[in-house]
């Protein structure tokens, strides 16, 4: 047998090569895995319909229609909201210019020279913000390509999902650990999606209602953004806070800005960063430190989509690298939350 140090070095080298390959193919890996996660989430609906007497083809068609309607409806809400944002922002040109002037005066009060102030603020303008929004709208054509790819993948995955249970049964006789690992991955992914979706919906409704009461424009858009960023573990609420807080600063000045920040901290930080991770840890069995580190890792590898899918991706990696290998059971004790930790069995000789 090879020395353990050499095995470790070879494993690290293989991991680096694999990660580099995944990163190079992020345009494909991200949509494929997103489609897989959606099929895993919707698969119980097919079994429930067949239990009610529906034929297999009808249950598969119903699941596909439900997933397609939800995806297209969500995309429609985002397109309409972004269009409204590009219409609303020009109305606050005066407030934006006054805010920039106030920042310049504050910097001058600290003894910063005019040249430094101009260098710091010359790229800040409402037109640049509008250009960013226009870039988002123009980039919808590129997003549409991914949407078409995801919809096509969903169709094939849902069709294959109807017979996936039979395939696992045929594998179970020879590879029971593989089947158990895949089933554990599917259960953990569904539990994570249920918990995150429930908490995300609660946070989105509370944020939208609070912003509407405070008079912040496009409250529905910021609620949808809060729902999406809720799938980013631990720090997702920060990304959902920045746009409505800046818009509140333009609409109502520093007072409204502070109120929006406080409301988000009370609602989003408490729910998403304190309460929700406890339920997620119980449902998927990953410690809080592991979820945070994997968030950074998958965001680096796959971009924003990797941040949203960080926990399901980690569960799949754990299933394929740890759960199916009796020699790697020791790693399970390091990855799991304390409540889910299990005694490590002696390594087979």
Same domain, yes or no: 146 and 220:
no
285-300 pLDDT per residue, tens: 777 788 888 889 998 9
Q: How far is CA 108 from the centre of its chain?
A: 41
105 found inside a domain: yes
Q: What is the mean pLDDT of residues 196-206?
A: 90
| pLDDT level of residue 17 (50, 70, 90 thresholds) | very high
Same domain, yes or no: 33 and 136:
yes
Same domain, yes or no: 139 and 182:
no
Same domain, yes or no: 154 and 178:
no
Residues spanned by the domain of 287 = 174-337
215: left (phi over 0), alpha (psi -120 to 50) or beta: left
112 found inside a domain: yes
Same domain, yes or no: 196 and 147:
no
Q: What's the confidence (pLDDT) of residue 172?
A: 78
Asked if residue 348 has pLDDT above 60, the reply is: no
* Residue 99: strand, helix, or coil: helix
300 found inside a domain: yes
Same domain, yes or no: 158 and 181:
no
15 found inside a domain: no
Residues of 296-305 as b/e, b for ≥16 C-beta within 10 angstroms?
Answer: ebbbebbeeb
Task: Cite the DSSP H helix spans in the chain.
Answer: 4-24, 26-51, 56-88, 93-109, 114-121, 126-138, 140-161, 164-172, 176-214, 219-229, 236-264, 276-284, 288-302, 304-308, 310-318, 329-335
206-263 pLDDT per residue, tens: 999 999 999 888 888 888 888 888 888 777 778 888 888 888 888 888 889 899 999 8
9 found inside a domain: no
Domain total of the chain: 2
332 found inside a domain: yes
41-64 pLDDT per residue, tens: 888 888 888 888 888 888 888 888
Same domain, yes or no: 40 and 86:
yes
Same domain, yes or no: 227 and 86:
no
């Amino acid at each position: 047998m090879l020395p353990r140090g050499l095995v470790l070095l070879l494993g690290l080298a293989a991991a680096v090569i694999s990660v580099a390959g995944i990163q190079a193919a992020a345009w494909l890996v991200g949509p494929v895995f997103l489609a897989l996660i959606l099929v895993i989430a919707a698969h119980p609906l097919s079994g429930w319909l067949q239990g009610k007497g529906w034929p297999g083809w009808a249950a598969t068609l119903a699941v596909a229609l439900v997933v397609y309607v939800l995806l297209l409806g969500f995309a429609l809400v985002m397109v309409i909201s972004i269009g409204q944002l590009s219409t609303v922002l020009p109305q606050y040109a005066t407030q934006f210019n006054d805010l920039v002037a106030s920042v310049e005066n504050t910097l001058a009060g600290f003894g910063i020279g005019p040249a430094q102030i101009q260098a710091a603020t010359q790229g800040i303008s409402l037109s640049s913000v509008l250009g960013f929004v226009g870039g988002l709208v123009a980039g919808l054509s590129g997003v549409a390509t991914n949407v078409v790819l995801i919809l096509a993948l969903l169709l094939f995955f849902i069709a294959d999902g109807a017979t996936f249970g039979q395939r696992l049964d045929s594998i179970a006789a020879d590879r029971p650990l593989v089947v158990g690992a895949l089933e554990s991955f599917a259960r953990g992914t569904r539990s994570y999606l249920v918990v995150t979706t429930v908490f995300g919906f609660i946070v989105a409704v509370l944020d939208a209602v609070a912003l509407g009461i405070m008079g912040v424009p496009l409250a529905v858009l910021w609620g949808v953004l809060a729902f999406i960023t809720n799938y980013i573990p631990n720090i997702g609420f920060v990304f959902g806070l920045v746009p409505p807080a800046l818009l509140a600063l333009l609409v109502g000045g520093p007072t409204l800005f502070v109120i929006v920040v406080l409301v988000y901290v009370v609602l989003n930080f408490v729910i998403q960063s304190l309460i929700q991770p406890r339920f997620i840890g119980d449902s998927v069995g990953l410690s809080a430190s592991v979820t945070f580190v994997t968030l950074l890792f998958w965001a680096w590898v796959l971009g924003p989509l990797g941040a949203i899918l960080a926990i399901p991706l980690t569960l799949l990696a754990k299933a394929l690298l740890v759960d199916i290998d009796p020699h790697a059971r020791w790693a399970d004790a390091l990855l799991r939350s304390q409540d889910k930790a299990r005694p490590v069995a002696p390594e087979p000789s």
